[in-house]
Structure 1
Amino acid sequence: MGEIPFITVEGPIGVGKTSLAKAIAEAFQFQLLKEIVDENPFLGKFYEDIEEWSFQTEMFFLCNRYKQLEDIQKHFLHQHQPVVADYHIMKNMIFAQQTLKDSQYIKYVQIYDILTHDMPKPNIVIYLNATLPTLLKRIKMRGREIEKNIDPSYLAQLSSDYEEAIKTFKENNPQVTVLRYSGDELDFVKNKEHLEHIISDVKSSLLKRSSTI
């Protein structure tokens, strides 16, 4: 049996990760894994006071993502059922590095390493990014109450951090297929041709990977 497709979609807040993950799951009939966001009881407070609530917020996300990955490994990947997720666990380190104090970050990394060392790893990563105006526009359009207090400077730094993180990820994981798209150039929600372009790329990547196993 060859590798089981495990696709993750990543990028900063508001770039369209969940919308694209849903579309890919529907196109290929893959199991969809969506991260838990609205259920985080600390997130609203975090956007109001990042320094005060960052550790609680990041630990909640880490524990829930760990549990989700554990579940998909047990119930889907081990049963040879492909999965597409709207996040990659590496995002935890992107957010933690920006928001946690040094002492908190050291503890966080230790916990992260313990929880994730044997977690399932994706074989295809789709990376989305966009300029700050596009991100702010899309965040406003989806109208989540907990996101109304996002600081644009925080979002800009987050986008920059994602760029650096994906670059490092590609260098350290040459065996993983990374597909990159600009949210400024592609609107896969409103433009069917844009979505079909991405779906075609994913299909080609899946075929290429299956032929090299």
Structure 2
Amino acid sequence: MKQQQAYISIGSNLGNRHQHLNAAVSAIEDEVGNVEATSVVYETPAWGFKGAPFLNAALRVKTDLSPSRLLEKLLTIEKRLGRVRSNETGYSSRTIDLDILFYEDEIINEQLLKVPHPKLQDRLFVLKPLANIAPSKVHPVLSKTVKQLLDDCKDTDTIAQTDLSLKNNILQTSKLNYLVIEGNIGAGKTSLATKIANDYNGKLVLERFADNPFLPKFYKDQSRYAFPLEMSFLADRYQQFSDDLSQFDLFSDFVVADYDIYKSLIFAKVTLAEEEFSLYRTIFNIMYKEVVKPDLYIYLYQNTKRLLQNIKKRGRGYEQDISPEYLVKINNGYLDYIKTQTEKKVAIIDVSEIDFLSNNSDYEFLLRQINDAIKRES
């Protein structure tokens, strides 16, 4: 059967709710089809009965199962994950709840299966996650987009976005020991590295720039403080890599870092005078021989306008006077470095038009790009 696109609502209000949701996603991935998109996770009060609050989310799945077989699979997964259905009418608490919201544009009105879900337009806890992954999906009966249904919804329940993420199997970390996420100032490298580490149980290594006493001074007087700044960064990066990465091969840990030590040379070339850079490069080359090299190097490209917006938004006082010209020089330094890499596994991803923190589909797009790079280099 041809692969079809289905949207599924998932929820839990008993036991370890987050664990139940992740178990359901894994089971659907294994038994139903490819989970192409997962919404953010929302917390909502019980709907239609008194009970503990729910965690709710939505999935977009590609499957070769017919609608009736899909329903059978979802009911089997529910039962295996502890869902107990009673013969009593009305709603009750449950470890997991899986509902088919849409199946392509089909309209099904059978006793045991009704698609689209007949109450989805009335439920904020369904529409909010669904709008996160499919705002333009048109309801085949009501002829309105999910976003329009959300705007029109009369449900007044409070719905809160959580910091929880649904596990997915997009990123094949088993093929990685050490991943580097790099980028210009404000590109989002720290945010992405942190999110990947949290979602895939990786060891996170973040640059310790906040404690550098020369950084605020450098942005006020670059010519005076460039050399001590770059030397202090180099020493700290070398120490951190020695501490955090020296034994990860021994234990086969998956490590994700928001910088590569080679960035020291990229920034130094931009900020230092010629004689200073010559001395710096000599010291760097001695240190660089001793550090572990990444399996994959990802460069997040952001255009200069977006970088400046991000820098302003995060509000670090000493960064507010960074010039567009300086950012262009840094970007060119990275690209020049990447062009010279014949042995290092490198991928450039343009993130200028996406928001992977607010939009889960954008985040999954990034993960797929990274995973494609892993596959190319395997």
The answer as to 2:188 corresponding to 1:20 is: no
Q: Tell me, what secondary structure is at the counterpart of 2:362?
A: helix
The higher-RCO structure (CA 8 Å, 6+ apart) is 1
CA distance in 1, matches of 2:376, 2:200: 16
- Could you say which residue in structure 1 is the equivalent of 2:284? 112
How much has 1:12 moved relative to structure 2? Answer: 0.7
The correspondence for 2:360, drawn from 154, 169, 192, is 192
Percent of aligned pairs with the same residue? Answer: 36
Q: Tell me, what secondary structure is at the counterpart of 2:281?
A: helix
- Could you say which residue in structure 2 is the equivalent of 1:32? 204
Q: Deviations for 1:30-77, whole angstroms, at most 9, x for unmatched residues?
A: 100000111110001111111110001001110111011111223433
How much has 1:27 moved relative to structure 2? Answer: 2.4
Q: How many equivalent pairs are there?
A: 205
Q: Is the 8 A contact 1:11 1:128 kept in 2?
A: yes
The correspondence for 1:164, drawn from 333, 336, 339, is 336
Structure 2: gaps spanning 5 or more residues = 1-173
CA distance in 2, matches of 1:131, 1:201: 19
Q: Is the 8 A contact 2:242 2:291 kept in 1?
A: yes
How much has 1:161 moved relative to structure 2? Answer: 1.9
Matches within 5 A, 1:40-189: 40-169=212-341, 172-173=342-343, 176-189=344-357
Q: Is the 8 A contact 2:246 2:292 kept in 1?
A: no
TM-score, reference length from structure 1: 0.89
CA distance in 2, matches of 1:178, 1:195: 19
Q: Tell me, what secondary structure is at the counterpart of 1:38?
A: helix
Which protein is bigger by CA-based radius of gyration?
2
Going from structure 1 to structure 2, the CA distance change for 1:199 and 1:147 (only over 3 Å counts) comes to same
Give the structure with the larger strand fraction. 2
Which AA in structure 1 matches 2:317?
E
Superposed CA RMSD? 1.9
Q: Is the 8 A contact 1:18 1:86 kept in 2?
A: yes
Q: Tell me, what secondary structure is at the counterpart of 2:211?
A: coil
CA distance in 1, matches of 2:321, 2:232: 20
TM-score, reference length from structure 2: 0.51
Q: Is the 8 A contact 1:47 1:146 kept in 2?
A: yes
Q: Is the 8 A contact 1:4 1:80 kept in 2?
A: no
How much has 1:78 moved relative to structure 2? Answer: 2.8
